[in-house]
Amino acid sequence: MDYLVTIGLEIHAQILTRSKMFCGCSADYADAPPNTHVCPVCMGLPGALPTPNRRAIELAALTGLALNCRISHTNVISRKNYFYADLPSGYQRSQYDDPLCVDGWVEIEGDSGPKRIRLTRVHIEEDTGKLIHTNDGGSLVDFNRAGVPLMEIVSKPDISSPEEARRYFQKLRQILVWIGVNSGDMESGALRCDANVSVRPAGQQEYGAKVEIKNINSFRFVERALAYEIERQIRALKAGEPIVQSTRGWDEISGTTVAQRTKEFAEDYRYFPEPDIPPLHLTDAWIDERRAELPELPDARRIRFIEEYGLTAYDASVLTDERTVSDYYEQAVAAARTRGVTPKEVANWLTGEFFRLLKETGESPAHAAQRMRPEYIGEVQELLNNGVITRTSAKEAFEAAFREGRSPAVIVAERGLAVIGAGDALTDLVRQVIAGNPKVVEEYRRGKLTAIKYLIGQVMKATRGQANPQAVQQALEQELAREQTAC
């Protein structure tokens, strides 16, 4: 029997703001000692009054627009009530009835071609604190993260396989980092996801029971956890066992999902409007301002790179994966054009040598770009196009420019990388090689014309590869002919 798989993801993304969602505490707590970024508001002390973070709401709306959502004019912050040690107030400020962004979609590479994953909503909330479990069985709590602005991005159950779930998660990360609303740092939990999955026999109309896998913080884990969970559910269905709506955790060591608790329903949280924050009314003018803030998105730029610069689909996709690389490429193209260097030639340097060197140094593109100025790429290619240097020397000059942050033209001059052209220097070398190889010269004179290949090789060796082979052959032929007439 065939089974249908239905997956929906809830992605939690911290919003990149300086302060927390409802107080002035710094949201940059990464290296801070525990419980130093706290105040009465984010500690949930009685009587402390929250003030919404304007920038967090702007960035969440920007996210909604990037994900093709509609922005709601009226926004209500609600209290989601539950007890947990990392939640000092006993409720989380979130949104329930009136989320900031509704509907929307994200296009991904689906299992059978391009596919739109529809979104239900993007809402704002606050992050919880963090529990640290010690080796002796104790637990510690750190409230530095409590109250950090968070967005929850909820998809419709449009995802049909673990691979699609991974691609959707990757696409969302690309967009969030690209528009500057999230750090994309999954290891620290700044971006994480819960996956809902249900399985039902083909032909059955109603969905199977929904199982939620909590707090997955890597692309690989989302794929593996879902694959495991789908297998588990199919096995249970085949054995006639019921699937219980529940929450499970992914255990990366055993490679299995583990039951945590039976799933609570929305009613269990007793949501009600936060009495300390009046509804937020967003005007059309305010929404238009957000729209004006939205940069060109990666998909649009990828298509433009193909159309405007004639790049292959592969190169265009590699060069629009990250915004810093993409911006750098465009700066390099603009500088290279004044030298008659094509966008394709610039792309080849980036996808080849530039990426190879980044891998070697382990740097971020932004860091390397501080030394390797975008105009250097056109410079090195122009020297190559004009026959001033060979391809081997061009690579040497490029690498030196990358490592030292100096102009390739200066490096070529300093290291004497310029091709040895026709002229006295080459003629001298040619004469030396002819004098040093009388046997080969004799063979050539007797009519074995291929013997000249050996002589060319000797001259190239003497120039350490810096001569143009055609120029060497020409000089050799001239010199051999001249000597023959002289005899």
Residue 40 or 255: the one with the smaller Cβ distance to Zn ion is: 40
Point out which span in 15-23, 118-126, 196-204, 439-447 binds Zn ion (CB under 5 A). Answer: 15-23
Two tokens, residue 320: 């629009």
Query: How many degrees, rounded to 5, is the angle at CA 203 between CA 199 and CA 204?
Result: 55
How many chain residues are in contact with Zn ion, going by CB under 5 A?
5
The secondary structure of residue 467, as a DSSP letter, is: B
Residue 274 or 353: the one with the smaller Cβ distance to Zn ion is: 274
Report CA-CA distances (Å) from 247 to 9, 209, 481.
14, 11, 88
d(CA 130, CA 152): 18
Q: How near is the Cβ of 15 to Zn ion at its closest, in Å?
A: 15
d(CA 90, CA 67): 32
CA dihedral (408, 414, 417, 419) in degrees, to 10, reads 110
Residue 51 or 215: the one with the smaller Cβ distance to Zn ion is: 51
Instruction: Name 133's bridge partners.
Output: 139
Point out which span in 25-33, 111-119, 256-264, 352-360 binds Zn ion (CB under 5 A). Answer: 25-33
Residue 29 or 444: the one with the smaller Cβ distance to Zn ion is: 29
Residue 26 or 342: the one with the smaller Cβ distance to Zn ion is: 26
Asked if 433 touches Zn ion (CB under 5 A), the answer is no
Is the separation of the CB atoms in 357 and 365 below 8 Å? no
d(CA 298, CA 324): 11
Q: How near is the Cβ of 87 to Zn ion at its closest, in Å?
A: 14
If DSSP codes are grouped into helix, strand and coil, which group holds residue 73?
A: coil
Q: How near is the Cβ of 23 to Zn ion at its closest, in Å?
A: 3
Q: How near is the Cβ of 182 to Zn ion at its closest, in Å?
A: 21
Residue 45 or 300: the one with the smaller Cβ distance to Zn ion is: 45
- The H or E element spanning position 284 is helix 284-293
DSSP line for 395-450: HHHHHHHHHH---HHHHHHHHT-S-B-SSHHHHHHHHHHHHH-HHHHHHHHTT-TT
Asked if 412 touches Zn ion (CB under 5 A), the answer is no
Q: How near is the Cβ of 129 to Zn ion at its closest, in Å?
A: 11
d(CA 398, CA 75): 54
Asked if 67 touches Zn ion (CB under 5 A), the answer is no
Q: How near is the Cβ of 30 to Zn ion at its closest, in Å?
A: 16
Two tokens, residue 155: 């998809």
Query: How many degrees, rounded to 5, is the angle at CA 446 between CA 440 and CA 452?
Result: 40
Residue 130 or 431: the one with the smaller Cβ distance to Zn ion is: 130
Q: At what angle do helices 298-309 and 162-178 cross, to 10 degrees?
A: 80
Residue 39 or 471: the one with the smaller Cβ distance to Zn ion is: 39
Q: How near is the Cβ of 147 to Zn ion at its closest, in Å?
A: 6
Q: How near is the Cβ of 55 to Zn ion at its closest, in Å?
A: 16
Q: Which of 9, 11, 13, 42 binds Zn ion (CB under 5 A)?
A: 42
Q: How near is the Cβ of 144 to Zn ion at its closest, in Å?
A: 10
Query: How far does CA 9 lie from the centroid of its chain?
Result: 19
Point out which span in 20-28, 207-215, 373-381, 475-483 binds Zn ion (CB under 5 A). Answer: 20-28
Residue 43 or 409: the one with the smaller Cβ distance to Zn ion is: 43
The residue written with tokens 């060497």 in the block is 472
Point out which span in 41-49, 84-92, 224-232, 324-332 binds Zn ion (CB under 5 A). Answer: 41-49
Residues 6+ apart with CB under 8 A from 148: 14, 20, 21, 27, 29, 126, 127
Residue 39 or 422: the one with the smaller Cβ distance to Zn ion is: 39
Point out which span in 33-41, 158-166, 258-266, 451-459 binds Zn ion (CB under 5 A). Answer: 33-41
Is the separation of the CB atoms in 98 and 123 below 8 Å? no
Two tokens, residue 47: 């009587």
Point out which span in 40-48, 108-116, 163-171, 252-260 binds Zn ion (CB under 5 A). Answer: 40-48
Point out which span in 36-44, 63-71, 189-197, 246-254 binds Zn ion (CB under 5 A). Answer: 36-44
Q: How near is the Cβ of 148 to Zn ion at its closest, in Å?
A: 10
Rg of the chain in Å (alpha carbons): 32
Q: How near is the Cβ of 276 to Zn ion at its closest, in Å?
A: 14
d(CA 200, CA 394): 60
Asked if 25 touches Zn ion (CB under 5 A), the answer is yes
Asked if 39 touches Zn ion (CB under 5 A), the answer is yes
Residue 24 or 457: the one with the smaller Cβ distance to Zn ion is: 24
Q: Rounded to the nearest 5°, which phi and psi values hold at 148?
A: -70, 135
Residue 44 or 469: the one with the smaller Cβ distance to Zn ion is: 44
Asked if 23 touches Zn ion (CB under 5 A), the answer is yes
Point out which span in 39-47, 223-231, 275-283, 316-324 binds Zn ion (CB under 5 A). Answer: 39-47
Q: How near is the Cβ of 39 to Zn ion at its closest, in Å?
A: 3
Count the neighbouring beta carbons within 10 Å of the beta carbon of residue 358. Answer: 19
Count the neighbouring beta carbons within 10 Å of the beta carbon of residue 141. Answer: 16
Asked if 48 touches Zn ion (CB under 5 A), the answer is no
Residue 42 or 67: the one with the smaller Cβ distance to Zn ion is: 42
If DSSP codes are grouped into helix, strand and coil, which group holds residue 230?
A: helix
Point out which span in 22-30, 222-230, 377-385, 406-414 binds Zn ion (CB under 5 A). Answer: 22-30
Q: Contact positions toward Zn ion, by CB under 5 A?
A: 23, 25, 39, 41-42
